[in-house]
Structure 1
Amino acid sequence: MTRKAVLICPGRGTYNKPELGYLHRHHGDKAALFAGFDAQRSAAGQEEVTTLDGATRFSVSKYSRGDIASPLIYAASLADAQSLAKDIEVVAVTGNSMGWYIALAAAGALSAEDGFTVVNTMGTLMQEQLIGGQLVYPFAGADWQNDPARKAELLAIVADINTRAGHDLVLSIDLGGMLVLAGNEAGLSAFEAAVPVVEERFPMRLANHAAFHTSLQAPVAAEGRKRLAAGMFSQPKVPLIDGRGHVWWPGATDTQALWDYTLGHQVVEPYDFTRAVQNGALEFAPDLFIVTGPGTTLGGAVAQSLVHAGWQGMSGKADFKAQQAKAPSLISMGDDAQRAIVTG
């Protein structure tokens, strides 16, 4: 019996110390795939992906860099996407932020090699320019229940800060029960001063993250468009759900428009991951939501997005946990126990 799945690719911040060695542990059979990626890195004078993954020591300052994290996450995620059990039918693919680039390759709109070129190019450009920064702050409570009033209140604070001279601050990613905000130092600091500390860790700055999905990234988008040709893009083989919740259908996709979105709107406008997940649920009614590795941090945002949509009658964290215990519908491939549920 076929299991239908929406495949979800993670973004930056998912390759951390526990993930060091991920490619070697899980994908010893994909040497040819990684050799192509390594060749691109070597030609650019960059450290090879397999060398980075095979290191004996992890440091946040190095591995959180865009030109290091992006290619590692791409390699791990795409390899996971190629490792699914034969009874799983991927009915749609989406991703969070940088995960959109991985989704393009996982859905066949970019070849594995061209997808790597896109990720490595954009990750390197982001790191070289490192314009602005990001922080994360929750609006949902510990029970994960949606709180539109609190969300609106926080976004009003953001909008007010953004009107101040010398302050840039806007929504970067709508991430389940979290808001990812991006801006310049003045904007980020003003928000940190304006809200209470929650769970002893929020607001949380994200190391080596630029102001992704904001107009501050216009120079990065422009340079990306110069370096990455529209001819790299082709018809997706399975439906692709982008950062607006829009579906790009096989056989009906304008590939020029797909290139334009990927290196335009997707870079400089807010990314609505919540809507992408919810539309995946409502449009495709999958049996499973499979989050590729590395890491497991995206699972919470996926679960919260489903709860906020009332998926299968869920209204909070307890409902989700009960459903997962009965018949898991959300699988994180970065978790070894869950991984076994969806691999061959």
Structure 2
Amino acid sequence: HRLAVRGDTVAALTGALDDWLAGPRPRPAGTGGVGFLCTGQGSLHRGAARPLYGRFAVVREVLDACERQFADLTGGGSILGPLLGDTGGADPGEPVLDTEVAQPALFALQCALVRLWREAGVEPDVVAGHSVGEYGALYAAGALSAEDGLRLTAGRGRLMRERCAPGAMVAVPTDTHTARRLAAEVPGVELAVMNGEHSQVLAGPAAAMARLTELLAERGIHARTLPMLHAFHTAVMDPALDGLRELVGGVEPRPVRVPFVSGLDGRTRPAGWVPDADYLVRQTREPVRFADVLGELGASYDNVGTLVEIGPHTTLSGLARHALPGRAAHPTLRRGAGLAPLWDTAAGLYRAGAPVDWRAFMAGTGGRRIPLPGYRFQHKDYWTGPENHLPRPAQPEQPVLREQPTRDGAEVAQDEAAVERVLQHIIKVTAKHLSYDTSEIAEDASFFDLGADSLQMIGVLRELEEEHRVKVSMRELFEEAGTARGLAVIIAGKATPAPATAAFPAPVAAPAPVAEAERRAAHDTPPAPVDATRQDAYATREDAYATRQEVEELRRQLQQLTQVQLQLMGQLSQLLTAQAGR
């Protein structure tokens, strides 16, 4: 599983974590497949880019370049002014931008959003767009450059303003059959957009739409007039089509790099498809079938678990959540919400398994990653080496007696019981400090494998020392113990009086080489005894492999040493940072 929460205060973060814990069981992180949905013109508003422009260099780079190009194309016009301007308390339902500005401004914003997500490591596996939003989708798919797309959208908007009569568009919550019947009752009105099972848009000339609005009110049908100055996707667009065909002929679109789901028919254009003038003219005149687009995404893209709306407001993401309840759908921006939707969407993508690069979002802010305890992965054994292969060591011929502690059966049993009591207490204390259940603490699991850091282990040791009246150094913990059982043996040994001693055969010295024997004889120095047990365990074995136990022990020690070093380095970094901030 992956978890990401957002908050501006400690209380907000802890509250978000508590909400997650109290919520339903989360689904495992998926494959991270992402779809981009590029919004149409109706969602654009003044100041839409303001939260992003001052925060992200890549957004400024894209929008500034588009601003310069638009000024060249129009003789001094501006798209950046409206994108960064104040809404001035305008009614969200009122059109705030002329079509010739709104279309290139929307495209420029979508280019900036696509670039921002790419900087953060998020690339689409499929793209789709709504109406003029298809130009943004073609940019995301690699078919249009930012320069060509801006030239086309600016020219498209200019042609519509100059050649098309005023019109209107009305959203009606009804099915397509009823919508077509309503359109047939008022000459000039057409079904322009099919967004969902009960979400249609009717459009036509201004006078005809005024009559339709009266008809809907008479029948008690709630309708919402959209902030549009033209009747897109109707016969009102016909005067602009020849000019648009000529305009598109001046650019050379490239093949799409990722699948593109068309709003013309809801079908996928696979990677390699090239949009031509005929396609772009048809998608201007014919109805938008976005309900079919969502149906195609649901039926053909099981690998895409998250849909991200590329646009200034939450429009398509709402439609997607309703039509595809099994998929996550997030907006990048929402009117009046600042950057909060962006952060929430980044968190959602991360939880879904997308490779979000948080450094791209944090660049230039002073934000940094904070080291936290690691995750205790459920390790499985995949040993592929040989089985144990040790020659049996020879027995010493003449054992030498030395003093060793005597251990009768009762004392050994007593010591084992003491270790077991201490072990159970260590497991309980460790579980408390690391927020585990006691059943999750294996006695032979490394503390670092459990996700503990050195600061947490100091707290564990302090509580154990107070309870058992012993002192355990950090060196003993890290170098000699490392696990709950190892620590229990140390603590039980410190708390138990040393037993009496008795004679016990000591290991004999190994035969010294001749040169060494002569040197010792010359100095009259008796040879030091060698621990035969240790010699047996690590004897030279020309025909032997390293055993599995030896490899595992070496691996454990190296891993433990590495973890200690990393923890110390992390704490040193925190101390230096805190010191520098004073």
Check whether TM > 0.5. Answer: yes
Choose from 146, 154, 158 the match for 1:124.
158
1:9, 1:291 within 8 Å by CA — same for their partners in 2? yes
Conservation of the 8 A alpha-carbon contact between 1:70 and 1:119: yes
Secondary structure class of the residue paired with 1:193? helix
Partner residue in 2 for 1:172? 192
* 2:101 is the alignment partner of 1:68: yes
Quote the residue 2:210 is aligned against.
189
Q: Structure 2 vs 1, CA of residues 88 and 20 (structure 1 numbering), >3 Å: closer, same or farther?
A: closer
For residues 39-69 of structure 1, give each alpha carbon's deviation from its aligned partner in whole angstroms, at most 9, with x where no partner exists.
2221122423223323345467773311222
Q: More displaced, 1-10 or 271-280?
A: 1-10
User: How far off is 1:130 after superposition?
Assistant: 4.1
Q: 2:316 matched to which residue of 1?
A: 298
Go from structure 1 to structure 2 and tell me whether the alpha carbon gap of 1:16 and 1:30 turns closer, same or farther (over 3 Å shift).
closer
The answer on 1:137 being equivalent to 2:171 is: yes
Instruction: State the TM-score, normalized to the length of structure 1.
Output: 0.79
Match of 2:247, as an amino acid? R
Cα displacement (A) at 1:114 = 0.7
Partners of 1:179 and 1:197 lie apart in 2 by 19
Whole-angstrom CA distance in 2 between matches of 1:221 and 1:11: 19
Q: Which residue of 2 aligns with 1:159?
A: 184
Q: What is the alpha-carbon root mean square deviation over aligned residues?
A: 2.7
What amino acid is the match of 2:177? A
Matching of residues 53-64 of structure 1 within 5 Å: 53-56=83-86, 58=88, 63-64=96-97
CA distance 1:138–1:215, shift in 2 (3 Å): closer
Q: 1: CA distance between counterparts of 2:167 and 2:225?
A: 8
Distance in 2, matches of 1:75 and 1:88, equals 19
How many angstroms does 1:20 deviate by? 5.7
Note the C-alpha offset of 1:339: 1.6
Length-normalised TM-score, structure 2: 0.49
1:241-296 per-position Cα deviation (integer Å, ceiling 9, x unaligned):
11121222112x2x3x633111x211111110111122122111211011012112
Q: Distance in 2 between matches of 1:333 and 1:100?
A: 17
Aligned-residue offset at 1:17: 4.5
Q: Provide the residue aligned with 1:14 in structure 2.
A: 43
Gap change, CA 1:129 and 1:204, over 3 Å in 2:
farther
1:137–1:55: structure 2 CA closer, same or farther, 3 Å change rule? closer
Please give the residue correspondences for 1:1-344 in structure 2 after superposition, counting only pairs within 5 Å.
2-17=31-46, 19=48, 21-43=50-72, 44-56=74-86, 58=88, 63-84=96-117, 86=120, 88-139=122-173, 148=175, 151-161=176-186, 167-176=187-196, 177-196=198-217, 202-229=222-249, 231-243=251-263, 244-251=265-272, 253=273, 255=274, 258-262=276-280, 264-285=281-302, 286-306=304-324, 312=326, 329-335=328-334, 336-340=339-343, 341-342=345-346, 344=358
Against the structure 1 CA distance between its residues 35 and 125, is the aligned structure 2 distance closer, same or farther, given a 3 Å change threshold? same
CA contact (8 A) 2:42 2:228 kept: no
Structure with more relative contact order (C-alpha pairs < 8 Å, separation 6 or more): 1
Bigger Rg, which one: 2
Matches of 1:190 and 1:225 in 2, distance apart?
33
> Is the Cα contact below 8 Å between 1:22 and 1:76 reproduced in 2?
no
Alignment check: 8 A CA contact 2:46 2:82 kept: no
Give the letter aligned to residue 215 of structure 1: A
Q: How many residues align?
A: 306
Identity %: 23
Is residue 240–residue 247 contact of structure 1 (8 Å, CA) maintained in 2? yes
How far is 1:330 from its partner? 0.7
Q: Provide structure 2 residue ranges, at least 5 long, that are not aligned to the other structure.
A: 1-29, 347-355, 359-582
Question: Could you tell me how far apart the structure 2 residues matched to 1:198 and 1:24 are?
Answer: 46
- Distance (whole Å) between structure 2 residues aligned to residue 301 and residue 16 of structure 1: 20
